[in-house]
Structure formats: C-alpha cells, structure tokens
Structure 1
Amino acid sequence: MDVLMRYFTETNRTKIARFFFDLALLVELVEMIAEKSELVFSMESHIFRITFLLTFAAVLLKKHNLKEWAIILAVWVFTFICYRITGRNELLRFATFAMAACDIDLERAMKYTFYVCMAGFTVIVLLAVFGILGNVSMVADYGRDNAQELRYVFGFGHPNTLYGCAYALILLWIWIYGKKAGLWQFIALFAVNVVLYYVTVSRTSLAIGMFTLLMAVIVRFAEPIRKWWITYVMAGLITPIACVVFSWWAASVSELPRFHMDTKRELRINKLDVILNNRIQDLYRGSTRHAGSLETWKLFSDRLSEEYFDMGWVRLFYWYGIIPTVLICLLIAMMLYVCYKKRDMQTVVVLVSMSVYTVIEATFVSVYIGRNFMLPVLGVYMWQLVRGQLKATQQPQ
C-alpha cells in the first residue's frame, strides 16, 4: 500500500490524466475521420462511452481546489439534466472533454489534431482516387434544380463534407501558424480556397473561406488591432449575437419562402433562401414536425427532436434547447474576453469564422467531439480564467 501511495503522487496522477486525455483525443479524431469517409461503422455509441470514461477519469485525477470542484460539479449536474431531458449526451461528453483539457500543452494538442486530421483526410482521398473506398465524383441534384450536376467528393460522400474538412484544416492552420505566417502562405491558401470552390461548387463556402483568410491576413500584419478593445467587441457582436439573431429570424420566417410571395418582404426572403439553397424553408418543410422552425424551439429540447438540417445555430436550439444554447453563447463571449486579455486574435478569427459558417452548415454541431477542434482551447482558456492566469501571448516581431 505504501508503494502504491508513493507512486500515486500528484505528479503521477497528472501524467496519467494527460495520457487518458491524449488517448481520448486520438480515438475521437480517428472516429471522426472514419465517419467522414464512406466506411460503415456501427460501434459509435460504445466508443463514445470509452472516451467519456477516459476524460471523466482524467478530470477526477487532476488536482482542483474547492472553487474548481464546485464549477466541475455544477457543469456535470447541468449537462446530466440536459441528457436526461433530451436523451442526448453530447453536452455532458463535450463538457467533460473540455474540462479534462484544462492544463494540457495546448499548442501540442492542436498540432497533433491538425496532423492527424490531415493524414486521415489524405487517406480518404487516396482510397477514393485508387478506387478502393468511396467515389471521386457524384452526379446529383444539389438544390439548384439540376439533377445531373457533377461535383467532386473525393471519398467524402458529399462536396460540402469535402469542403468542411478542408475548411477545418485551414482554421487549424490559422490557429497554429497564422500568427507567424508569411504573405505567400496566405496567398497559397487563397488559391486553395478557389480550387476547392471549383471542386465543390459551393459559393457560400467560398465567400466564408475568403472572409476567414482576409481576417487572418489583417490580424497578422495589422499589429495595432490586436490591442484595440473595439476589435474584440466587434467580434463579440458577430460571434455569436448576429449569427443567433439571423438564425432566429430564419426559423421565424421558414414557412414563407416559395409559397407566400405576395409582398416585397416575402420576395426578398425567397431570394435569400434561393442563395442559401432552400435552407430557410427546409426548417419548416423538411420534415413533418417542421423541425427547426421557431415553433419547435423550447427551453429544453425533447427526445423526439432528432431531425437533421443544415443551419447549425438553429440545430443547436432545436437539439438542446434555448437555455443550453444561450449558455453556449455566453461561453463563447467569455472566450472572446479571454482572447482580449491574452491579445489572441488568431483564436478570435477562428471563433468568428466558425460562428458564421455554422449559420449555414452544421459541421461543428455534431455528436462527434473530433469535429469541434476548439474544445481543448475552450477547456484551457476557461480554466485560465477561473484560476486568474490570463496573460498576453507573445506576438511575432
């Protein structure tokens, strides 16, 4: 027993906890990559349980003071209540994963995520190109009244999925390397974004990609804006306030497009909906329950709210409820405050871009932890805020 107690020191507990987190991160990333491919896998729920237990154990093994334990227990109680009400355990799993990341080497974890994802996505492309798994291209109706439209998917099953994976890699690159990148590297990424447009034919994704890279270039080379508090306030107005307001509006008018074009307002709504490939009207007409329309929003969701649709912020409100989503918005606002204290504009760029992208796509609103690569950043930043350890990050010379 004495030998066991000597081994089970705080240092060793921390090492074990970090190993558990690293293992959980690897498993979640591999599972997410497999889900992006055409591979059929039916053991997801068991994998989710394993990674939850690993991160749960990691939280318990780490040293916390009374205040921190109170926060941890409050988060667990709230997310467990959400799970019991909705039948969805994502908030509980995601929160535990983020708390397990509280003291990790964040840059190392993000680089690890970037290179594992890049390797996994490359394998998917190669398997499709060599005819082993998945298609290189697909002919289908992609919402533009053309049943014979050809788009490339390179093993990802859908052109939007292909772009979403490339977009995630771009965001990871911006977070890891953007603060020291040269102009030629950004020009190369602009070119990649244009190539992705010609491959996937996604105009909205092209616009968001260009917007993201433009923000990244500005914060890289316009050094003074990192110090301006107004920059972070403006980011807070976009992320998530403007995105949530637009999503609420879309859910409230989702019954109108195509069927009630009697006024100029309804004509404008219809034109916008056409640009968004009918995403607004699909909130009302995409299912018999009108899943996603404002009438289906509740303080807490229910076990029947399982339908999928593209608009990510609306999906958050529909899947989890108004109260949990408002708390998620507050977490994002707190992250932006931490970014201001740390003068961390790269994280701001990523948060703003993800928020805008999530208005039209639900890539990051998913049961897969591996899709939301900002969870480790959330865990580290929130814990630094709780512990009063905020300090400005060193900027490139």
Structure 2
Amino acid sequence: MSEDKRTRLSNLIFYIALTIELVLMIAEKSEISLHDCESMVFKCTFALTVLAVIIMKHGKREWIAIGVIAAFTFICWRFFSGKNELLRFSMFMIAARDIDLKKVMKYIFYVSLAGFALIALLSVVGVLGNIYMITDYGRDNAQELRYVFGFGHPNTLYGCVFALSAMWMWIYGQKSRIISWLLALAFNVAICLLSKSKTALAICIIMFATGLLVRYWNKIAECRIIYILTALVTPVFCVAFSVWSACVSYIPRYHQEMKCHNFISAIDELLTNRIHDLYRGNERHAGAIETWKLFSDRMSEETFDMGWVRLFYWYGIIPAVIISLLVILLIYICYKKKDAMTLVIILSLSIYTVVEATFVSRFIGRLFIFPIAAIYLWEFFSRDKIKEERS
C-alpha cells in the first residue's frame, strides 16, 4: 500500500474514533446516563487509534518512540493506577500525526457546537434536563438558583461555552472583526451571569483580554517575554498553587489558631471551599498532599474540583510532572512558531484547570487541544528527519 493510501486510511479511522469520542462526550454532558457503555466505547476508540497507528508508515526512530510511550503508559495503567487514560490519550495523539489540523479543529468545533446547542434546546422545550437548578452550591444558600440549560451543573454549562470559545478563538480569532469578538465575549459574560459563576467570569475575562491583545497587537507574537511569562504561569504557578493547596487543605478545619488561617480561609472562600474539600471531601482525604504518590494506585478514584490536583492524585506525581513539562515544551514550540493565539489557549486552559477539573477527564472529546498538541509535538521532534527515514 502506498504511503498516500496509508495516510488517507489512517486519517479516516482517526476521524471515526474522534467522532465516537465527541458523541460520547456530548451525551455525557447531558443528563443521559452512560455508565454502562463508557468502558466499551473507550475500548472501541482505543482499538481504532491503535489500528490507525499500525497502518501509518513509521521509521525505526518513530517505532522506538511509540514503543517507549506505549510501554510507559501501559505500566502506569496495569501496575499502578488502573486507569488507562494515559495510554488511550497517547495513542490518540500519535494517530493524529498526518491530520489537517485546521480541518480537524473545525470538525471538533462544529460537532461540539451542534451537540451543546441540542442539549440546551432539549432542556428549554422540556424534553431532557432542567433549565435551572435550586440547591446549595457550597455557598451556604440552600435556595440558590443557577441556570444549567440541560448540562446538569452550572459549571459544566460554562465549561462547554469556554471550550467552544477557545476553539473559535483558535480557528477564527485572528481574522474576526471586533464585533465578532464583542459578541462572543457578551455571550460568555451572559452565561457566567446566568450560571452565577464568579470563577468562570474571571477566566472569561482573562481569555478574551489576552485573545484581543493578540488579535490587535500584531507584533506581540514576536515578544519573547509573553512566552516566558506564560511558562511561569503555565504550569509553574498553576502547579505550585495546586501543590500549596494540597499541603494546606487540612488547615482551615483543624488549625483555627494558626496565623495563616485567615489568609488560607480567604482564598478558600474565593474558590468556594475547593481547597478545604481536598481534605474533608471524603474519608480518605483524597487530594490532600499525603494521598499523592509517585505513581497513583487503584484506590485513587475520588473526584474533586481542582484539576491540577486531580491530575497528580489520579495518575501520580511522575506522570503529572511529565505532562507539566510537555505543557512547557508546547509553550516553547509556540515561541518558535510565533503562535501567540495557541499560547492564549494554553494559558486559559491551565488557569481554568486550577479550579475546575473539566479537562482532567476520561473523555478525549473534552480535550480539544489534543490535536494541536499532537501536531506541534510531532513537528518539534524532528519530523523531517523521520520522513527521510521512512522514505
């Protein structure tokens, strides 16, 4: 089989796997229960991505790299965490090697947009899901009303809007007029107000402010300082703050007399008890620093909101550090490519993940940045040399 045919076939299989993952993700965002079929779907899409990788033409160096990645993620799964996400994610990104990045991102954007719009529509017409929910969201108000539009939780609602906005920004932001930017911003602010999420509003302002700066200051992509600052914030500050949160998570409840209590409590209150809940959220104190391991174990199943902490807790310190280093590498690649808009997406995602674990998930469909990361990493690791080796 010629290399051109191999590429077309592997890309077709990749799109099939991607479509299945997107449909699963959209259904999971709604109030449809999918627990009985998730595992089977994940196995199916994993098999498809492995098939796509096998069909591709690879040189020796490439096979060695694939083998090392597969072995490491397999060991993490079978011998430590019992979670196969790292293996599935890595195979998905390897299978993305020959895709047309712009086309794939547009495909993810429009499929997600259609799916999320359908969820909202079904809730509005009363077919599936609530338009709003009244409950205690951790703010000592049992009668708090927040809009969800079929997504089950107000934070889930904005998480979807955030993902769509980030994808729109990456695909169309550089060429869109100010009116389009302002309309997108207004829609985000409206959803933040309806969902009553202060955190979402802060993230929204950061993302659009930096995005507009990149859009209208043409030379900012040439400024080295923005890449350095982003590398310091993402993930250095994000990880450092998350580690600190895991370390002090027990203090608000058990050390009221400590001088630092008021400072910690003030931050915890801003984050709606997210730091506090790392310790007191369950009997195992999942998320607190004493539960972190070099490689996580099969008991590490609990969930909580702080995404970077969940990354370390679910998969272990070593895998999480490797992921953090890959994020820094992506920032460096953005610098080499003078790609400031992707930098905005990385910055926004990293800050968002400090307080929300939406993108630390089993669902590949949530991780819209994977194709970008895959192509950029392939290009960085001497893709031209690998092509010469294949030929």
Contact 1:216 / 1:346 at 8 angstroms: preserved in 2? Answer: yes
Counterpart among 200, 203, 206 of residue 208 in structure 1? 203
The runs of 5 or more residues in structure 1 that have no matched partner are 1-7, 391-397
Q: Which aligned runs of 4 or more in structure 1 are off by greater than 3 angstroms?
A: none
The corresponding residue for 1:395 is: none
Equivalent position amino acid for 2:30 in 1? S
1:190 correspondence with 2:185: yes
Map 1:1-397 onto structure 2 (within 5 A).
8-41=1-34, 42-84=36-78, 85-388=80-383
Equivalent position amino acid for 1:190 in 2? L
1:333 CA drift (Å): 1.2
1:185 CA drift (Å): 1.5
Contact 2:189 / 2:204 at 8 angstroms: preserved in 1? Answer: no
Equivalent position amino acid for 1:75 in 2? I
Identity within the alignment, % = 53
Contact 2:14 / 2:96 at 8 angstroms: preserved in 1? Answer: yes
Output the TM-score relative to the length of structure 2: 0.96
Contact 2:235 / 2:324 at 8 angstroms: preserved in 1? Answer: yes
1:264 CA drift (Å): 3.7
Equivalent position amino acid for 1:279 in 2? R
Q: What is the CA–CA distance in structure 2 between the aligned matches of 1:379 and 1:197, rounded to whole Å?
A: 31
Mean CA deviation greater in 81-90 or 60-69? 60-69
The corresponding residue for 1:4 is: none
What per-residue deviation string (whole Å, max 9, x for no partner) do you get for residues 116-160 of structure 1? 000000100111111111111110001110001111111000001
The runs of 5 or more residues in structure 2 that have no matched partner are 386-391
Q: What is the CA–CA distance in structure 2 between the aligned matches of 1:152 and 1:230, rounded to whole Å?
A: 40
Contact 1:136 / 1:154 at 8 angstroms: preserved in 2? Answer: yes
1:91 CA drift (Å): 0.2
Equivalent position amino acid for 1:237 in 2? L
Contact 1:98 / 1:375 at 8 angstroms: preserved in 2? Answer: yes
Q: What is the CA–CA distance in structure 2 between the aligned matches of 1:259 and 1:138, rounded to whole Å?
A: 33
Contact 1:258 / 1:270 at 8 angstroms: preserved in 2? Answer: no
Q: What is the CA–CA distance in structure 2 between the aligned matches of 1:171 and 1:22, rounded to whole Å?
A: 21
Contact 1:300 / 1:323 at 8 angstroms: preserved in 2? Answer: yes
Equivalent position amino acid for 1:199 in 2? L
Mean CA deviation greater in 119-128 or 177-186? 177-186
Output the TM-score relative to the length of structure 1: 0.95
RMSD (CA atoms): 1.2
Give secondary structure in 2 for the equivalent of 1:363. Answer: coil
Equivalent position amino acid for 2:130 in 1? N
What per-residue deviation string (whole Å, max 9, x for no partner) do you get for residues 18-51 of structure 1? 0000000100000000000011222010000110
1:387 CA drift (Å): 2.4
Q: What is the CA–CA distance in structure 2 between the aligned matches of 1:13 and 1:197, rounded to whole Å?
A: 45
1:14 CA drift (Å): 1.4
Equivalent position amino acid for 1:77 in 2? A
Equivalent position amino acid for 2:12 in 1? F
The corresponding residue for 2:388 is: none
1:183 CA drift (Å): 1.4
Contact 2:7 / 2:98 at 8 angstroms: preserved in 1? Answer: no
1:113 CA drift (Å): 0.3
Equivalent position amino acid for 1:82 in 2? C
Equivalent position amino acid for 2:352 in 1? Y
1:379 CA drift (Å): 1.1
The corresponding residue for 1:3 is: none
The corresponding residue for 1:393 is: none
Give secondary structure in 2 for the equivalent of 1:257. Answer: helix
Give secondary structure in 2 for the equivalent of 1:151. Answer: strand
Q: What is the CA–CA distance in structure 1 between the aligned matches of 2:308 and 2:147, rounded to whole Å?
A: 27
1:263 CA drift (Å): 3.7
1:258 CA drift (Å): 4.1
Mean CA deviation greater in 220-229 or 14-23? 220-229
Q: What is the CA–CA distance in structure 2 between the aligned matches of 1:230 and 1:276, rounded to whole Å?
A: 29
The corresponding residue for 2:389 is: none
Length, aligned pairs only: 383
